[in-house]
Amino acid sequence: MGYKVAVVGATGNVGREMLDILAERAFPADEVVALASRRSQGQEVSFGDKILKVKALDTYDFTDTDICLMSAGGEASKEWSPRIGQQGCVVIDNSSAFRYDADVPLIVPEVNADAVVGFTKRNIIANPNCSTAQLVVALKPLHEAATIKRVVVSTYQSVSGAGKDAMDELFNQTRAVFTAGEVVQKKFTKRIAFNVIPHIDVFMEDGYTKEEWKMVAETKKMLDPKIKLTATAVRVPVFIGHAESVNIEFERPLSPEQATEILRAAPGVLVIDKRENGGYMTPHEAAGEDATYISRIREDATIENGLNFWCVSDNLRKGAALNAVQIAEVLINRKLLQKSQQAA
Ligand SMILES: NC(=O)c1ccc[n+]([C@@H]2O[C@H](COP(=O)([O-])OP(=O)(O)OC[C@H]3O[C@@H](n4cnc5c(N)ncnc54)[C@H](OP(=O)(O)O)[C@@H]3O)[C@@H](O)[C@H]2O)c1
């Protein structure tokens, strides 16, 4: 007997991807329920070869649901995730609302799957920020090999990371530019079509943005609090797929050849690095794929034990939906879902 799974935010970018991934991976679910706000009640969404009718979150009873994949934004998570957890359903939360809570594990299965056991305090497990998820998948095996002292990362983040309205804004602005129409700006602070914006999430007092702060805090929580990290997060006019330029300083020497060998063997990573025209990965090619792709691995000769690489992944998959489903699989494989074990 399988599990009952609820997907909250099922009409959104991440929620739709969650439904696709559950179907693709033949997740052991007897029943999958699609939930969103009242606005979407009765709307239809695809789940494999089935069509699900969307139900309203605020009238749904979670008492016989085993797993809730929550992806409806921070405000909805703050209000609903603790309540759902109290009803005995394990919430895998995609927002940033609980990521820094000491009683909530923050998990990327390739990095810190063992920490998942801490979920029982609140029945909530947090999924990281999309740009951190792909980064730590690549950092983890390199940290084990040569101990990372410091990381400098610049991101090139697609508009889907800001939700479905942001994708529409890029599309509409691009069309308006070509048809000499009005370029309307709502979701982004500046025009995103044919532009790049060095600003994601709100500004903090120290001049960094919250997106940049999240990369620091989440890398420390999941990988190692001793790692120093500084980030510049930039929105680019790409629909799906985040790219990152990563510079690392290690405690011990690690050649590009050794790093390549380590990354080739690492779970969740694919190295595409031919040092010739087109011998690297771009977001366009990573969209719809599960891996974190690493290209352009080379020495940074300006510092001792320095390395540079280029990291690309589908932000809606490894950055959100895939990682959440992988966490649910860890719970099942490690037999940590008590309620379902009784039901099975
Ligand atoms: N996109 C990414 O790369 C990414 C990566 C990591 C984490 N996340 C996080 O995932 C969450 C969702 O992102 P998204 O990109 O999928 O956003 P989105 O495309 O804007 O979709 C938002 C979804 O949440 C639902 N929703 C909003 N308010 C709700 C409420 N009060 N009650 C129930 N449902 C509600 C919406 O339902 P209606 O259609 O009914 O409004 C919709 O299904 C956010 O917390 C985001 O930070 C996103």
Cα(74) to centroid of ligand 1, in Å? 8
Average pLDDT over residues 109-115: 98
Least confident of 4-18, 157-171, 221-235, 325-339: 325-339
Q: HSE (CB half, 13 Å, CA atoms) of 91?
A: 31
Q: What digits encode the pLDDT tens for the residues 197-256?
A: 999 999 999 999 999 999 999 999 999 999 999 999 999 999 999 999 999 999 999 999
Residue 34 pLDDT greater than 70, yes or no: yes
Cα(82) to centroid of ligand 1, in Å? 17
Asked whether 220 and 151 are in contact (CB, 8 A), the reply is no
The Cα–Cα gap between 315 and 177 comes to 26
pLDDT of residue 341: 39
Ligand 1: nearest atom to the Cα of 73: 45
Report the largest interatomic distance among the alpha carbons of the chain, rounded to a whole angstrom. Answer: 62
The Cα–Cα gap between 66 and 119 comes to 14
pLDDT category at 338 given cuts 50, 70, 90 is confident
Ligand 1: nearest atom to the Cα of 158: 3
- The answer to whether the CB of 243 is under 6 A from ligand 1 is no
pLDDT of residue 340: 43
- For atom 26 of ligand 1, which residue has the closest CA? 72
Mean pLDDT of the chain: 97
The Cα–Cα gap between 110 and 75 comes to 28
Average pLDDT over residues 17-33: 97
Strands 242-250 and 228-235: unpaired
Packing angle between helix 13-24 and helix 322-333, nearest 10 degrees?
50
Q: Is 268 helix (H, G, I), strand (E, B) or coil?
A: coil
Cα(246) to centroid of ligand 1, in Å? 28
In the block, residue with structure tokens 């690492």? 266
**Sign (positive/negative) of CA torsion 166, 169, 175, 180?**
negative
- The answer to whether the CB of 76 is under 6 A from ligand 1 is yes
Q: To the nearest 10°, report the CA torsion of 126, 127, 129, 135.
A: 120
- Long-range contacts made by residues 185-189, C-beta under 8 angstroms, separation at least 24? 187/162, 187/163, 188/159, 188/162, 188/235
Q: Cα–chain-centroid distance for residue 245?
A: 17
The Cα–Cα gap between 154 and 123 comes to 34
Residue 196 pLDDT greater than 50, yes or no: yes
> Could you tell me which of 85, 81, 76 has the C-alpha nearest to residue 121?
85
Ligand 1: nearest atom to the Cα of 316: 3
Strands 50-53 and 44-47: antiparallel
Q: What digits encode the pLDDT tens for the residues 81-96?
A: 999 999 999 999 999 9
Q: Which residue type occupies 229?
A: L
Q: What digits encode the pLDDT tens for the residues 261-296?
A: 999 999 999 999 999 999 999 999 999 999 999 999
Residue 342 pLDDT greater than 80, yes or no: no
| pLDDT over 70 percentage in the chain | 98
Instruction: Verify whether residue 284 is a known catalytic residue.
Output: no
Entry pTM: 0.96
pLDDT of residue 343: 39
In the block, residue with structure tokens 């980030």? 231
Residue 1 pLDDT greater than 80, yes or no: no
- The answer to whether the CB of 9 is under 6 A from ligand 1 is yes
Residue 129 DSSP one-character state: P
Take residue 93 and report the two structure tokens written for it.
């939360």
The Cα–Cα gap between 271 and 138 comes to 10
Asked whether 2 and 30 are in contact (CB, 8 A), the reply is yes
**10 Å Cβ neighbour count for 118?**
15
